[in-house]
Amino acid sequence: MKQGIRQRIIAGRESLSLPDRKRLSLEISGKIADLPEYVAAHSVMGLMSFGAEFESDGWVSRVMADGKQLLLPRVNRATRQLDVYRVSDLEGQIEMGSYGIREPIPARCELADLAGIDFILLPGVAFGRDGARLGYGGGFYDKFLARLSHQPALVAAAFSLQLVEGIPQEPTDRKVDKLITEHEIIHCAAVRARA
């Protein structure tokens, strides 16, 4: 079932034209930047998009322009976990890495203090209004979130076509607090409380 949802949503994202994807991503980025959790955050963990995902480049640049500490993940193939680095120069500190995703260059960045992360923008293929998240199947983010000793704001950016009812969940899956689409800001905890 998960694989069927992934295939359907990825095909839907890829059917969006590049101009539409850029326009929708810009709308979503503006909504994220207005979130109280983002405004208050000092240390922000972002992501470098790939494929037909929400285009994060503009948002990541905005994080730095807003004077916040930008953190980006890198897949550590030896440990099968995410390592997180502080990045201040997208041109000089990023390279094409695992799975075709742009990642920090370890020799040019320093490892981040995980305890200081205030805000995390999470990737995903599909999302439920209750905050359920269906990733690409590697479990990297769920394992990463389980390592944190505190609760940063967990936010996801998605096109409205990525909203799906009844996403299958495992006990180890972490739900997002807020889901931002081009049309709305979904307060997932409130949806869960009403369920």
- Contact partners, residue 35, CB within 8 Å, separation at least 6: 153, 155, 178, 180, 185
Calpha distance 139→53 (Å, rounded): 18
What is the DSSP secondary structure assignment for residue 86, as one 8-state letter? E
| Residue 134 is assigned to a ligand binding site | yes
| Residue 174 is assigned to a ligand binding site | no
| Residue 4 is assigned to a ligand binding site | yes
| Residue 185 is assigned to a ligand binding site | no
| Residue 51 is assigned to a ligand binding site | no
| Residue 124 is assigned to a ligand binding site | no
Instruction: Identify residue 149 by its one-letter amino acid code.
Output: S
| Residue 100 is assigned to a ligand binding site | no
| Residue 139 is assigned to a ligand binding site | yes
- C-alpha distances (whole Å) from 120 to each of 73, 80, 91, 103, 146 are 11, 20, 22, 16, 13
**How buried is 96 (Cβ within 10 angstroms: 0-12 exposed, 13-18 middle, 19+ buried)?**
exposed
| Residue 133 is assigned to a ligand binding site | yes
| Residue 85 is assigned to a ligand binding site | no
| Residue 166 is assigned to a ligand binding site | no
Dihedral angle computed from the Cα positions of residues 30, 163, 122 and 168, in that order, rounded to the nearest 10 degrees: 170
| Residue 68 is assigned to a ligand binding site | no
Give the residue numbers of the binding site for ATP.
2-6, 133-141
Give the residue numbers of the binding site.
2-6, 48, 53, 133-141
Give the residue numbers of the binding site for substrate.
48, 53
